[in-house]
Amino acid sequence: MDDYTREMMDLKTLVTRTLEKKGVLARIRAELRASVFEAIEEEDRVIEKDQALPPALLGSCNDRAKQLHASPSGRLLTALVCEYLDWAQLTHSLKVYLPEYNLEKDFWKSELKEFSSKNGYDLNRNGDSPVLLDVLEGFLKFEVVNWSPITTGVMSKCCRVFRLDEAEKLVDKHKHHKPMIADETYKNLHSCLNRKAASREGSNDNNIYCPEAKIAYPEDLLQFQWHWRKGELVIVRNLLGGGTFSSLLWEPSHMSHAISQKHETVKAINCLSLCEEEVTINQFFTECANDCMHSSKQPHMLKLKDWPPSESFKECLPIHFKNFVSYLPYKEYTHPVSGSLNLAVKLPDGCLKPDMGPKAYIAYGVAKELGRGDSVTKLHCDMSDAVNVLTHVAKVKLGSENVTAIEKLMPKNLEQDKRELHDIHQDGEANDDGTSGSKLKEVEKGTVEQGDSLLDAVDSLDGALWDIFRRKDVPILEGYLYKHFGEFSHFDCHPLTKVTHPIHDQTFYLTMEHKKKLKQECGIEPWTFTQKLGDAVFIPAGCPYQVRNLNSCTKVALDFVSPENVGECIHLTEEFRKLPKNHGSNEDKLQVKKMIIHAVDDAVKKLKNSTCASGWTTNFN
């Protein structure tokens, strides 16, 4: 081979590689294939016309294609593919694609035009991406849970209403937005708007946001939402101040008078044995208003939980219901009928609705922590968000005889605890439940220290001592309780022998000594605070909490489902379902997924109405 021939071959190779790299050869090949397909197609159509033959069916040589094109969604899919080929300037590939499917040249344009007119999609957008990519990205940005036909229909409406990329930016901006209150104003308000409730090292959430009910700040709702979306509790103080509540309305005597069946018996829980006792309503409220002492001068703690049990609060106490609801803070979230951000109210009338309250919790209480028979709500976790309002406090006046009786009772309780622990465990020998005899000294020390100066200083407005744990501390808390459950008692003050779930069993109450040990061993502690008369405590879903009554008091609680915590509600629902069938908490009483579906549907309908009123022509059907 001479030099000239070799140079020409090298030049041919170089030109070929350059044309391949530039895509020229690919276009030529595609154009050749397209020309062949077009020629064959044209010849077939001429033959069909000359011989009066029926036109070929769409995709007649391909059963799958024919079946796909029989549906509107299949034709739309083909149109989206064609639009992509046109957008990518793969025109020769498009010329091959259309004849192979026996499709007319501009079939896809008319199909997309019809899609646009029905769904309000702007085909004249900037053209940065094909329509197919927009549709796929929009679908992938939805976090879908248990799709059903009705869910798919509702969510498809949302796809038509929202440009999802813009919605995502808006949500992300809102997530990191902090309410803009002037720095100087915020500094002046800081001392009265925040209450220290924990001493965690390296943590910025030791303080609780505590706005005053009677003072209206311009961005108070935004401040609430800022803390709420981070899973922090909020306390709205002094709902009784300035005539917000009629305090006399919640007096035990007035509540007893308002109930027509005064002499009807109710089942109250004895806090010592945790067994039910039958008492008349009149008797219960009378003791609550006066004293809670037996003839033996020892505390007799009773409580009514989730009362009234069968009929609604509204039917049983209509005046109290109206009074309670009318002054609830943040009604966007808490109103049981019209709360715009309360997903629980979105369930339609024909649907079986969960009992979200309100419900009353009425209990006797004394400031001293007795160790046994204390008036407590044990550690548990609500399935939804909740607001708990302290509507009445009756300070129990202990005479000298009562104080003496309590002082004699506490050592007896200690001795019984020691005896029962010794019966189960040998001194110094570790057991499956994590309790050993060597820990008895710790139990003894904790029991003696229960009545410290904090609780000795209880005043007439203090109703209950709360401990609320952060969501992120729950796994550590559960581990601690599994390890130490043998040191706790439950029914009739007998030590626990087994645990199904340390929180959902509702069998634990952490004394001050246990909270101290929890922090030493695990480095976590709850928000601890005193709920005063008129305080509304907002508890985010997923935050375990426990309560001890410091005086006889009436609390009214209402459940709600906020958009910020709907994910946590779903998580809790799945957690409850994993419990044994005979466990009291394993039912899906909340139906949160139904709430989401109906809430989205309601939002779409309202958007439809608002857009129609403003002259928009977007199709929501």
The length of the chain, given as a count of residues:
621
With respect to residue 560, please indicate whether it lies within any of the assigned structural domains. yes
How far is Cα 161 from Cα 178, in angstroms, rounded to an integer? 28
Q: Does the pLDDT value for residue 149 go beyond 50?
A: no
State the Cα–Cα distance between residues 244 and 326, nearest whole angstrom: 9
For residues 69 and 71, give the distance between their C-alpha atoms in angstroms, rounded to a whole number: 5
3-class SS of residue 112: helix
* Distance of alpha carbon 190 from alpha carbon 171, whole angstroms: 28
Q: Decide if 329 is inside a domain.
A: no
Q: Which of 90, 110, 130 is the last residue of a domain?
A: 110
In a domain, 474, yes or no: yes
Q: How far is CA 614 from CA 121, 607, 611, in A?
A: 18, 10, 5
pLDDT in tens, 562-577: 999 999 998 998 888 8
Task: Please determine, for residue 28, whether its predicted confidence score (pLDDT) is greater than 60.
Answer: yes
3 state SS of 428? coil
- Of 455, 281, 434, nearest in space to 374 by CA: 455
What is the structure's pLDDT at 20?
A: 66
Rounded to the nearest 10°, the torsion over CA 359, 365, 371, 372 is: -70
CB atoms within 10 A of CB 606: 11
Would residue 208 count as lying in a domain?
A: no
Strands 359-363 and 536-539, by their bridges, are: unpaired
Rounded CA-CA distance 543/188 in Å is 30
Given a cut of 60, whether residue 209 has pLDDT beyond it is: yes
For residues 454 and 526, what is the distance between their CA atoms, to the nearest angstrom? 16
365-412 pLDDT per residue, tens? 776 666 555 678 899 999 899 999 999 888 776 655 655 665 565 555
What's the burial of 94, exposed, middle or buried (CB within 10 Å: 0-12/13-18/19+)?
Answer: buried
Pairing verdict, β 527-532 and 462-468: antiparallel
The tokens describing 506, both together, are 């509702």
Q: Which residue has the higher pLDDT, 496 or 145?
A: 496
Average pLDDT, the chain: 72
b/e 304-314 (16+ beta carbons within 10 angstroms → b): beebbeeeebe
Distance CA 407, CA 497 (A): 29
**Final residue before a domain boundary, out of 82, 110, 138:** 110
Q: Specify the pLDDT at position 264.
A: 73
**Closest CA relative to residue 78, chosen from 94, 91, 61:** 94
Percent of the chain surpassing pLDDT 90: 20
Give the gyration radius of the chain's Cα atoms: 35
Cβ count within 10 A of residue 210: 19
- Top pLDDT among 77 and 300 is at 77
Lowest mean pLDDT among 45-59, 385-399, 452-466, 545-559: 45-59
Return all residues near 476 (Cβ < 8 A) that are at least 6 apart: 522, 523, 524
Q: How far apart are the first and last CA of the chain?
A: 75
Residue 453 lies in a domain: yes
> Is the confidence at residue 208, as pLDDT, over 70?
yes
Between CA 281 and CA 288 the distance in angstroms is: 11
Measured between alpha carbons, how far is 224 from 212 in angstroms, rounded to an integer? Answer: 12
Six token digits for residue 611: 């857009």
What are the backbone dihedrals phi and psi of residue 427, each rounded to the nearest 5 degrees, phi first? -60, 125
Among left, alpha and beta (phi > 0; psi -120 to 50; other), residue 201 is beta
What pTM was computed for the model? 0.65
Residue 28 CB coordination number (10 Å) = 12
- CA 569 vs CA 87, 321, 430, 433, 575: distances in Å: 44, 26, 38, 31, 10
List Cβ neighbours of 568 (8 Å cut-off, separation of 6 or more).
231, 471, 540, 541, 542
CATH number of the domain that residue 541 is part of? 2.60.120.650
Distance (Å, whole) CA 310 – CA 47 = 81
Mean pLDDT of 548-558: 90
Q: How far apart are CA 205 and CA 218, in angstroms?
A: 23
Closest CA to 297 of 366, 377, 251: 366
Tell which residue, 248, 235, 213, has the closest CA to residue 323.
248
Q: pLDDT of 469-483, one tens digit each?
A: 999 999 999 999 999
Average pLDDT over residues 128-149: 57
Whether 249 and 285 have beta carbons less than 8 Å apart is answered as: no
More confident: 531 or 174: 531
Q: What is the pLDDT of residue 429?
A: 40
From 86, 110, 134, give the residue that closes a domain: 110
Residue 236 domain-assigned? Answer: no
Under 8 Å between Cβ of 394 and 284: no
Q: Could you give the CA distance from residue 27 to residue 615 in angstroms, rounded to a whole number?
A: 47
Q: 474-484 and 512-522 are packed helices; what angle lies between their axes, rounded to 10 degrees?
A: 110
The mean pLDDT value for 192-209 works out to 86
Nearest to 480 by CA among 443, 442, 524: 524
Domain housing 53: 6-110
In whole angstroms, what separates CA 80 from the centre of its chain?
A: 38
Total of domains in the chain:
2
Is residue 121 assigned to a domain?
no
